[in-house]
Amino acid sequence: MNVKNFNLSLIVLLIVMVFSSCGKKKTPPELTLLGDAIMDLCLGDSLVDPGIQSIDAYDVDISDLIDITSNLDNGTVGSYTITYTSTDENGNVSTVERTINVGICVSSLLSTYYVSHDCQLIGQDIINDSQTIIQGNSTNEFIIDNFNTFISQISGTIDGNVVTIPQNVFSVGQAPLSIDVTLSGNGTINNTGDEIVINYDYDAGLAGSGTCTATYSK
């Protein structure tokens, strides 16, 4: 090949390279989260991902090519991240994240529990060894069914992992020798929702008063 032909080939090659370079856009895909960027999920529930859309520099929908990674654990309270990564045909990359906050809801607690406790008054248990938590009348209210022999149900509320049992009054024994007992409580739920520890305060007047601990295990 003579010098003239070599120079011509070099010029053609340079032109092809320039046009090829110009044809590859360097604009990364545009990622749009569907739904909220921060979502709440009840402990134990399955996440329904609202999805995400990716449009490349040529206005082509490439959502099917999005790579999704996540550290979500719906069985443990905590904050987790879903990462969406979109790569177009030119190698341009875009990344967007969604935060999932897993927390305790009443629905996370609905179950029958074995109850280990030291709650006794004049030698008699004042709570049962097996109790069932059911949904209450509001979002954060629950009802403990089969609480004891004297009062079938008591209600409580949750706020995060904190449990509050408002004051309840029930009678122990048969009239006219029955004793009125006032009981309330507070406690905590563990991060996996399978154990609740409640400290009950009780007052039976002259028959005695005090604090006892009940551990609820699924």
If DSSP states are collapsed to H, E and C, what string results for 13-81? HHHHHHHHHHHCCCCCCEEEECCCCEEEEECCCCCCCCCEEEECCCCCECHHHCEEEECCCCCCCEEEE
Q: Which of helix, strand or coil describes residue 156?
A: strand
Does position 9 have pLDDT exceeding 70, yes or no? no
Give the pLDDT confidence score for residue 17 in this predicted structure: 47
Both tokens of residue 44?
């134990």
Residue 139 binned pLDDT confidence (cut-offs 50, 70, 90): very high
Overall pTM > 0.85: no
DSSP element (H, E) containing 171: strand 162-172
Q: Which of helix, strand or coil describes residue 196?
A: strand
The 10s digit of each residue's pLDDT in 101-117 is: 999 999 999 999 999 99
Residue found under tokens 């856009």:
25
In angstroms, how far apart are the furthest CA atoms of the chain? 124
What domains lie within the chain, and their CATH numbers?
25-103 (2.60.40.10), 106-217 (2.40.128)
Residue 146 and residue 165: Cα distance in Å, rounded?
15
